[in-house]
Amino acid sequence: MILCMQLEKIGAVLKTLAPLMDRYQQGDVSFPDHALKWLEEAEKTMSTLHLPDGAEMSTLRGRILKAPDALPAEDGPPLRSSVRRARNASAADALDRAEAVLRGRLLGAEERLKMFEDKLCEGMTAFLLQNQLPEMMTSRQAWLGEVWHDIHQFSATRPLAIYLAASLSKVDRLYILDRVLGRMALD
């Protein structure tokens, strides 16, 4: 599971929520339909990231779709205004729940990366006390790979490098290395 990709993709989905809620606030009659589309996109994003919480998005879509069915039908079919209010309320509740699920995943990924980033920052301090960084003569990605290789070869930071390699994907390791170097203002 690539954590930095979760940050990027889930963050992008969450950024599109505010304009959607503006539609609700403005009384836009198409709000429930847009909410359904948003939930579908959120589900696709979660599926792409192989996160099981994506299934909850389809359940939330189902709540919006069945909201009119829950209205009492004693004197015939419910009024259109009642159906619209029920769908709006259900869509707002579904988006609230979906936002909580996505935000939880986002915060979890951020916390995990921050923990590893802090450990790597300590290791980089030890590394830089006795070593220099290689010259950047290639692409930034290749250079980060060279720095990572040097960290892995240095005896004082080898255990950390092994630990990070076992805990994170290569993409995440290079992502936090780039952030650490940025924090240290060495790049």
Model's pTM, two decimal places?
0.84
For residue 187, the model assigns a pLDDT of: 46
User: Mean of the per-residue pLDDT values for the chain?
Assistant: 92
pLDDT, one tens digit per residue, over 36-84 is 999 999 999 999 999 998 899 999 999 999 988 777 767 767 677 778 8
pLDDT of residue 76: 66
pLDDT for 175-186, tens place per residue? Answer: 999 999 988 875
The C-alpha atoms of residue 34 and residue 88 are separated, in whole angstroms, by 11
Q: Is the dihedral of CA 54, 58, 64, 66 positive or negative?
A: negative
What's the pLDDT score for residue 110?
96
pLDDT digits (tens, 9 = 90+) for 127-175: 999 999 998 887 999 999 999 999 999 999 999 999 999 999 999 999 9
Q: How high is the pLDDT of residue 155?
A: 94
| Amino acid (1-letter code) at residue 41 | E
Question: Rounded to a whole number, what is the distance in angstroms from the first to the last CA of the chain?
Answer: 27
Contacts of 184 (CB under 8 A, 6+ apart): 121, 124, 125, 128
What's the pLDDT at 186? 57
Stretch 88-98: mean pLDDT: 95
